[in-house]
Amino acid sequence: MPEPSITTLRRLRTALDLIPDTLDIAEPALTPPAAGPSDGQRMMINEDLTNATRHLHGILVSWVRLVSEERPAVITCTDQDHQLAAWLWNHSAWIADHPAGIECADEIEHAVHDIRRICDRGDPRVFVGTHAGMRIYAKPDQDLVTLPDGTVHRVDTLRKHMLASLPSEALPLAQCAAVAKVMFGFDVTAESLRKLVARDQGKPDGLSPCGPGVFQMQDVLDRLAKRRTRRAS
């Protein structure tokens, strides 16, 4: 018996809604690390994650083309994944009633799950900070790293400086979540942090932005520490 289209619609929209957060979580691990002074080349980015995000992109593009040809509909988005997902969401009711609608929901669900599963394994690289607008990473056993300006620094020195300066930074929420998890050991994702901000709305001691789309890192750390203490009590 075919799956009711309302269930397909719900599954499809849920999967599409997860794509922006999923890509935010994956973004740091898709940034090429800086070269060490001896190897002269950038080390590989996370290959499994690169393949998984490319697979998701291919799925989104193929379904956008199918809808545009069979409905038909004018493609009004770019080929950026979040825009492709938004375009498909706007046509999701039509897709859910399509004979291949269940297949569409399955493919996107599985692709999003694969990306999040790879991200949950953690990044084996060592994040040493942002310099000249670039995220700088090193291999776990790498002692020295070359920055974009050509200067060579010790990895441990850069990390100490980064940890000291991070609390004063104002960052987008997804970056706050990544920093809090990787650098300070909090069990948090961009999605869970957004939910925390939503619950805090209107509360005098709640977490709120310090500028358009950015949050004070120290405020995020304080709020997460308070949540962890409450859970432990």
User: Do 206 and 115 share a structural domain?
Assistant: no
Confidence of residue 25 (pLDDT cuts 50, 70, 90): confident
Residue 183 belongs to a domain: yes
At which of 79, 97, 120 does a domain end? 120
Confidence of residue 16 (pLDDT cuts 50, 70, 90): very high
Residue 228 belongs to a domain: yes
Q: Which domain holds residue 108?
A: 5-120
At which of 120, 154, 184 does a domain end? 120
The per-residue pLDDT for 60 is 97
Residue 157 belongs to a domain: no
User: Do 93 and 22 share a structural domain?
Assistant: yes
At which of 100, 120, 140 does a domain end? 120
User: Do 109 and 14 share a structural domain?
Assistant: yes
Confidence of residue 82 (pLDDT cuts 50, 70, 90): very high
Q: Which amino acid is at 166?
A: L
The per-residue pLDDT for 186 is 86
Residue 97 belongs to a domain: yes
User: Do 113 and 20 share a structural domain?
Assistant: yes
- In the chain, % of residues over pLDDT 90: 37
Query: What is the number of structural domains in the chain?
Result: 2
Residue 148 predicted with pLDDT over 50:
yes
The per-residue pLDDT for 233 is 66
Residue 102 belongs to a domain: yes
User: Do 182 and 94 share a structural domain?
Assistant: no
User: Do 112 and 198 share a structural domain?
Assistant: no
If phi over 0 gives left and psi between -120 and 50 gives alpha, with beta otherwise, what is residue 102? alpha
- The pLDDT mean for the chain works out to 83
User: Do 179 and 76 share a structural domain?
Assistant: no
User: Do 176 and 110 share a structural domain?
Assistant: no
pTM for this predicted structure: 0.57
**pLDDT tens digits, 172-187:** 888 888 788 877 888 8
Residue 130 predicted with pLDDT over 90:
no
The per-residue pLDDT for 38 is 38
**pLDDT tens digits, 196-227:** 888 888 788 888 888 887 899 999 999 999 88
Residue 154 belongs to a domain: no
Residue 158 belongs to a domain: no
